[in-house]
Chain A
Amino acid sequence: MRRGTYVRWGVPVAAAAVIGAAIGAGPVIAAVSGDPVLPERSAQQLLADAAAANSKAGGVPPMSGTVQQTASLGLPALPQDAGTSPLSLLSGSHEVKVWYGAHDKMRVAIPTQLNETNLIVNGGQGWYWDSSTNTATRLTVKEGAGQEHKTPMPQPTDLTPQQVAERLLADAEKYTDVRVINTAEVAGRPAYQLVLAPKAEGSLVQEVRIALDGETYVPLQVQVYAKGSAEPAFQVGFTQVTFTPPAPENFAFTPPAGAKVEEKTLGDQPGEHAEERAEKAEDVKERVKVVGDGWASVAVLPFDQKELATKAAETPEDGERFGGGADPNALLDSVLKSATPVSGPWGSGKLIRTKLVTALLTDDGRLLVGPVTPEEITKAAGVK
């Protein structure tokens, strides 16, 4: 090897190094420049400020950005044809674009390869556009049903934000260690991170981190860490965000020529249906039992495998709505196949483990689900 050869091959090596550095530049720059430091705040102050910022006249400030959701729950392999169904959100990484103008002006777009799904809300009406079926659905929100669209913040008018924060924390601290990190950065913005760590030993959740923008207190990111892994098992948050009002075109939608237009009214369910649903909910509530408390609670519900299978087969309509291909039966089969049989003094059953949730299907027809270790869940199975 000649000296010149080394020099020559130094060029591609240097190029690779530069490219590698550029890819890793974000973390490197963050490490070199140090974390952004916001004024220190206690959890109570932070929650009070956030509640105050979100309940004042303007509410959440106008913004637009890209939200990325990543889940590595350690689920058994899901059928691949899930496609764009909500089920596909349980694994892998997904990107959603968000434009937010005011509480009644927003657009959410899910771009996929040569396809796009849009939800546009403007005033009292909304549009759901699916380019793969070339269908625009006009959604009209019925008067009075709009209540649930308000920011889901606790805002009883008789309480000041400080009181709300106090009450929330008092409830939370029974089971949770709450602390605040003031050096986080999300989507290039300095942010406060509210860290909730369960006190319960048997919980699978290491901690939950909620990032609030340092300036506007808008929640920017939620991360759920499982015990024993450094990467979050579930994460949803902005990868890019700007707090400027988005262009008004984003909220105007006219169905394109040639598209199918459908009408749908939200909050206008036939009365009997609503009643039926309420009854069902009551029924389920009665049958569900919760063992344990706080982060270590386990839900115990009666479960009949055969019944579920027939039910799934009976309602093909629902299956179709959730993206066609995802056959609930196939899903159930694939999940059950990966279950490990377990037995103990409480009986025997099948155990399904994921990073955050453990489920136990006992042979005597009970389903136990909880964010706890397998030991905890078998203990709960013993509680009759």
Chain B
Amino acid sequence: MSTADATAGATAGTRARRTPGLVPVKETLRSAERRPRHPAERGTPAARSPWSFWRLLRSELGLTFRRPRNLLMLAALGVVPVVIGVALRVVAGEDGMGGIIEDVAGNSLMLTFVSFSFLVLLLMPVVVSVVAGDSIAGEAGAGTLRYLLAAPAGRTRLLAVKYLNAVVFAYAVTAVVALSALATGLALFPAGDVTLLSGTTISMGEGLLRIVIAVGYVGAGMAALAAVALALSTFTEVSIGAIAATIVLIIVCQVLRAIPELGEITPYLLPTRFTNFDAVLRDPVDTAALGEGLLAFGAYIVLFGSIAWARFSGKDITS
């Protein structure tokens, strides 16, 4: 229980990091494996386990959303749709513009989808991988990981908390982009019925519903990316290494996607699925594309989640 209390204590202060104490605690594989053999030892925490889990998650979320670096990244992402909106507003008057600019100029809701289509390729993945890649490696680097594990919270549970924390942040990133784009769109462009890519028109309420679906889909994609970053994060004690590795992976995927000769493998690359949110803009909604994308995200989460678990639960924690 001391972990949750310790972290809760840390959140109360303005410091974003857990202060390493002077208690020489060293958890190795041997001590980690020994624990389950003594059921009595974890009797009381087990009874309170659901509560301690949520408390741990809450304190993690508090840390994540109070950390100035993360807030700064969210703010920067929120500015991008405003910039796009203003830029489109400036050029909207001119003739001969492409269809997408005309779509935005004609309807405020379209700015959300345009913003997604720009940001989903690189910026949103970068922000998400900073938080997810930092999750385990950051603790290890700061020397706080062993204190987290000193409590009988269990490695699996800690990993689950760290991942859920990253997922919530991923959805926060998506929601910030969507809301900022929506507000900018409503301020700069006329509201009303939405014209879909298929040329049919739907009411504004249904348009908002489709934005919600798009947010759910893109958020799920970012959550899948967070699983990759988390897995990389368990392999290193230098958080920047995990973050950089994830970003490099994304860029490599984008390069591979641009090579037409490699068309065979593109459906299996994660970033290919990010842009499929445009399925909600078709009539009827291309549920097959959305479903395939979600299945792919699920596969990535299961695969990299289990790699993270296998690595983390068998790792010697020395820092």
Contacts and interface: CB of A to CB of B under 8 A. Distances in A.
Instruction: Answer yes or no: do A and B interact.
Output: yes
Interface of A: 2, 4-5, 8-9, 11-12, 14-16, 18-19, 22-23, 66, 80, 91-93, 109, 111, 113-116, 118, 127, 129-134, 136, 240, 247, 249-250, 253-259
B102 A134 contact: yes
Contacts of A114: 100, 113-114, 117, 197, 275, 278, 281
Nearest to A111: B282
Given A114-B100, A132-B99, A258-B106, A109 B299 contact: no
A382 to B, nearest CB: 37
A19 B197 contact: no
B27 to A, nearest CB: 15
A115 B198 CA distance: 8
Interface of B: 29, 33, 98-100, 102-103, 106, 113-114, 117, 193, 195, 197-201, 260, 263, 268, 275, 278, 281-284, 286, 288, 299, 302-303, 306-307, 309-310, 313-314
B299 A240 contact: no
A323 to B, nearest CB: 14
Contacts of B99: 115, 130-134
A-B pairs with lowest CB-CB distance, top 4: A256-B195, A116-B197, A129-B199, A12-B306
Given A93-B263, A134-B103, A247-B284, A256 B201 contact: yes
A8 B33 CA distance: 12
Contacts of B278: 113-114
A257 B114 CA distance: 20
Contacts of A111: 197, 282, 286
B306 A11 contact: yes
Contacts of A80: 260
A15 B302 contact: yes
A111 B284 CA distance: 12
Given A114-B117, A240-B288, A15 B197 contact: no
Given A15-B302, A19-B299, A136-B199, A8 B98 contact: no
A92 B263 contact: yes
A111 B198 CA distance: 9
Given A4-B314, A11-B310, A114-B113, A259 B195 contact: yes
Contact of B303 (A19, A109, A115, A136): A19
B198 A129 contact: yes
A34 to B, nearest CB: 26
30 contacts: A2-B29, A5-B314, A8-B313, A11-B306, A11-B309, A12-B309, A18-B302, A92-B260, A109-B282, A114-B100, A114-B117, A114-B275, A114-B281, A115-B99, A115-B100, A116-B197, A116-B282, A118-B198, A127-B199, A133-B99, A240-B288, A247-B284, A249-B283, A253-B200, A254-B200, A254-B201, A255-B199, A257-B193, A258-B195, A259-B199
Nearest to B295: A22
B306 A15 contact: yes
B102 A258 contact: yes
A22 B299 contact: yes
Contacts of B283: 249
A136 B102 CA distance: 14
B307 A12 contact: yes
A195 to B, nearest CB: 26
B89 to A, nearest CB: 16
Contacts of B302: 15, 18-19
Contacts of A109: 198, 282
Nearest to A116: B197
Nearest to A23: B268
A14 B307 CA distance: 11
Contact of A4 (B33, B193, B199): B33
A113 B314 contact: no
